[in-house]
Amino acid sequence: MRLLVWCAFPLWLLGCAQPPQQVAGRQDAWSGRISLQVDGQASQSFSAAFELYGDVRKGGLVLISPLGNRLAQLEWQDGHAQLATAQETRTSHSLDALLEDVTGTPIPVAALFQWLKGVHSTTPGWRADLSNLEQGRLVAHRDEPAPQATLRLALTR
């Protein structure tokens, strides 16, 4: 799955992606592009269009390839999470674990929801720059644990 996403990254850079439409009819919903760069010996990057809705207790995340194909869909509620891809469907009690399976590195989901609402949330090892959130840009850096990572979101308005 990760290999497919990494192979699709150059196409995204060429501008093939069409921005997703705003997630309609949902409160606390965001859409746009997400990219994740992980530094280290085997530098990794992940990029996709996304639709995110809900909160840390109940919600969903859809990742879409530059060609418009659904790469993955995560849904969660009440301590239960489900990941559906074209190849398989998996369930877990940990949303964080399933999201790490998709992106290749841990992402602080609870903090992400706070950051998207403009709330500075302290998460060990992460620092978020919310200064451009009004313009639809969010950048968060992970300094610890190694390797360092940068998460970027470009929101559609």
Contact 130/138 with Cβ under 8 angstroms?
A: yes
Asked if residue 81 has pLDDT above 90, the reply is yes
Gap between the Cα atoms of 124 and 143, Å rounded: 9
- 41-63 pLDDT tens trace: 666 888 999 999 999 999 999 99
pLDDT for 4 beyond 50:
no
Do 55 and 69 touch, CB atoms closer than 8 A?
A: no
Tokens of 115: 């950051």
pLDDT per residue as tens digits for the range 24-37 = 455 699 999 999 99
- State the pTM of this model: 0.79
Radius of gyration of the chain (CA): 15
Q: Which of 84, 39, 37, 79 is nearest to 63 (CA)?
A: 84
Report which of 48, 45, 40, 93 is spatially closest to residue 67, judged by C-alpha positions: 48
Q: 113 φ, ψ to 5°?
A: -60, -40
Per-residue CA distances from 121 to 8, 13, 33, 113, 144 (Å)? 32, 31, 22, 9, 16
